[in-house]
Amino acid sequence: MTRSLDATSLETPRLLLRRWRSNDLDGFAAVNAEPEVMRYIHDGRTLDRAATAERLAIYQRHWDEHGFGLYAVEIKETGELAGFTGLAVPTFLPEILPAVEIGWRLGRAHWGRGLATEAAQSVVAHARAELGLRRLVSIHVVGNEASARVMVKLGMTLEREAVQPDTGRQVRVYAMDL
């Protein structure tokens, strides 16, 4: 069950999805420094603290420009930052625009417990009921079968294969009507 706390936060049984805070930088930098986490993200390189700070600034601007964005995912029981889940405009893949993408990134310690699916289901429900979106896409680099499984659990189906222009990596685009 998802509960919308306000316009910028959601709650599930185990998670709080919220806007980013200044004290999230170190926790998110730790997630982005994990090679296994970043293997299928962009060009596969890890991000240092400065690059993570730049990403957080971009996420904040996205919220300001679009009224939706990537939520920080916090484990309610511990208050630990697990990563993110949310919505973004996938400008890195121009051939599918206009589109809104649902995505997620969790630290390795949080894999295999259904947290990405739980958080993403909450975002899908919010996109449908509160944002009035009619369609979502999700994109993964070929080989990232864990993300593909989450996409299928959300009810998405494979729409096309493509090449990410800035990296040359093969990607799969999944989609769903809301």
CATH number of the domain residue 47 falls in: 3.40.630.30
- Using alpha carbons, select from 8, 34, 40 the residue that is nearest to residue 107: 34
> What are residue 85's phi and psi, to 5 degrees?
-150, 140
Tokens 């649902």, residue located: 102
Count Cβ atoms below 10 Å from residue 165 Cβ, excluding itself: 11
pLDDT tens by residue, 44-76: 999 999 999 999 999 999 999 999 999 999 999
- The pLDDT of residue 116 is 98
Sequence-ordered list of residues with C-beta below 8 angstroms from that of 39, at least 6 positions apart, any chain? 144
> What is the percent of the chain where pLDDT is above 90?
96
Q: What is the pTM of this model?
A: 0.93
Length reported for the chain: 178
DSSP single-letter state for residue 107: -
> What is the percent of the chain where pLDDT is above 70?
96
Per-residue HEC secondary structure of 11-25 comes to ECCCEEEECCCHHHH
> How many domains does the structure of the chain reveal?
1
Q: How far is CA 10 from CA 19, 41, 43, 112, in A?
A: 10, 25, 30, 21
Residue 122, Cβ density class (10 Å: 0-12 exposed, 13-18 middle, ≥19 buried): buried
pLDDT tens by residue, 99-149: 999 999 999 999 999 999 999 999 999 999 999 999 999 999 999 999 999
Residue 43's domain comprises 3-177
Averaged pLDDT of the chain: 95
Q: Measured between alpha carbons, how far is 131 from 133 in angstroms, rounded to an integer?
A: 6
Helix (H) or strand (E) holding 37: helix 35-38
Residue 33 has pLDDT above 90, yes or no: yes
